[in-house]
Homo-oligomer: A and B are copies of this chain.
Amino acid sequence: MIYIGIDVGGMSIKAGVVDNQGEILFKHSCPTGVERGYGAVIRDIAELGISAVEKSGHTMSEVKAIGIGIPGIMDQRTGIVPFCTNLAWHDVPIIEEMKKYTDVPVYVDNDATVAGLAESVKGVSAGTQSSVFITLGTGVGGGVVINGKVFSGSHGVATEIGHMVTVDGGELCSCGKRGCWERYASATALIREGRKLCAVKPECALMKVAEGDITKITAKHVIDLAREGDADCAEIFDNYVHHLAVGLANLINVYDPEVFVLGGGVSHSGEFLLNAVRAKLPQYVFFKTMPYARVELATLTNDAGIIGAAMLGR
């Protein structure tokens, strides 16, 4: 049996044919064209998947399932996507729409959830039954696998882990609450703190790297300077790692997974981040003499969306 995996983003739709071990046999892509509305986008999703099978030398009769990862949430009970901001979707009946083009079973889930599943099948968490994948990007997203299956909760919102409050009364979040974890553990947090630094200390190294323009500061600038030993950026980075570790410890207290997988832009800082998190986390674990989740970096990058989506139907 083979699977179709489709990764839908605001800019492009990627479709692949994937075997039972999570290996991509063929893949191609097309622009999303969000402005055309969900009907046209979903038609393209179906056609791109079906044509991928043909081009891979297989037939649709061999396809066990089609999986779709979306940058939004999915209500599994109704088959409807309640929200998908990047696609401008609201209450989109994706399962019903897909049935216009194929009889193959269709599975849909959040893109971070799908990426987490991909890592657990073919990536760094392969072989584990429970893992939490965390995207450290503009925001913080989560992909939870429990007993080898993706976990999205009763209404599809179980992995909005970025909006777990860790600093009640703290930084205002776009969601209206104060102190959400993603205000402190995202790339955005590093940029915000970098800008604050430059405002009070315009002669700092970070301001030089940003060529005197605070709007040019990136998370990578802050992390690179911290790695090079710049005291100001090291302080920002240490504080970032503190908040990241506080949230991971919270997730141990609720999910107790075998492994955390760090993905997203901030994770590209690699071993420097990983070693810092591994050093900090033990201080915040409740049962200090017991084993707890190991922390790893994501290994699949661009293909995680296709592989994970395909594996939704395995």
Report A's interface with B, CB cutoff 8 A. 73, 75, 82-83, 129-130, 142, 144, 146, 151-161, 163-170, 175-177, 179, 243, 246, 249-258, 283-284, 286-287, 289-293
A243 and B169 CA atoms in complex are apart in Å by 11
Most buried by B among A129, A152, A159: A159
Q: Chain B residues with Cβ under 8 A from A163's Cβ? A: 249, 253, 286
Task: Take A163-B286, A165-B249, A287-B73 as given contacts and tell me if A155 and B292 are in contact as well, using a CB distance cutoff of 8 Å.
Answer: yes
Output the least CB separation between A88 and chain B (Å).
16
Choose one: B129, B252, B284; the contact of A157 (CB below 8 Å). B252
A152 CB to closest chain B CB (Å) equals: 7
* Chain B residues positioned under 8 Å from A253 (CB to CB): 157-161, 163-164
Known pairs A82-B287, A166-B165, A168-B246; A130 contacts B157 (CB<8 A)? no
Residues of B contacting A177 with CB < 8 Å?
A: 246, 249, 284
Query: A153 touching B256 by the CB < 8 A rule?
Result: yes
Residues of B within 8 A of A157 (CB): 252-253, 256, 286-287, 290, 292
On chain B, the residues within 8 Å of A246 by CB distance are: 165, 168, 177
B254→A159 contact, CB < 8 A? yes
Contact of A164 among B73, B250, B289 (CB under 8 A): B250
B291 A155 Cβ-Cβ under 8 A: yes
13 CB < 8 A contacts A-B: A75-B290, A153-B256, A155-B290, A157-B253, A157-B287, A160-B287, A161-B254, A163-B249, A163-B253, A164-B164, A166-B166, A167-B167, A177-B284
In the bound complex, how far is the Cα of B181 from the Cα of A179, in angstroms?
A: 14
Supplied contacts A157-B252, A159-B254, 6 more A-B pairs, CB within 8 Å? A152-B256, A155-B291, A155-B292, A158-B254, A158-B255, A168-B246
Q: Is the interface of A mostly helix, strand, loop or mixed?
A: loop
Q: In the complex, what distance in Å separates the CA atom of A254 from the CA atom of B161? A: 6
Q: Give the one of A165, A167, A290 with max B CB within 10 A.
A: A165
* Chain B residue with Cβ nearest A156: B256
Q: Chain B residues with Cβ under 8 A from A154's Cβ?
A: 129-130, 256-258, 293
Report the minimal beta-carbon distance from A276 to chain B, rounded to whole angstroms: 17
A252 and B159 alpha carbons, distance in the complex (Å)? 9
| B residues near A156, Cβ cutoff 8 Å | 256
Most buried by B among A129, A156, A254: A254
Contact of A250 among B129, B130, B165, B252 (CB under 8 A): B165
In the complex, the chain B residue whose C-beta lies closest to that of A142 is B254
Contact of A243 among B168, B176, B249, B286 (CB under 8 A): B168
How distant is the Cα of A283 from the Cα of B163 in the complex, in angstroms? 13
Contacts A160-B286, A165-B166 hold; do A254 and B251 have CB atoms under 8 A apart? yes
Query: Which residue on B lies nearest to A252, using beta carbons?
Result: B157
Instruction: List the 4 shortest-distance A-B pairs measured between CB atoms, nearest first.
Output: A153-B256, A158-B256, A160-B253, A164-B250
What residues of chain B lie closer than 8 Å to A73, measured between beta carbons? 287
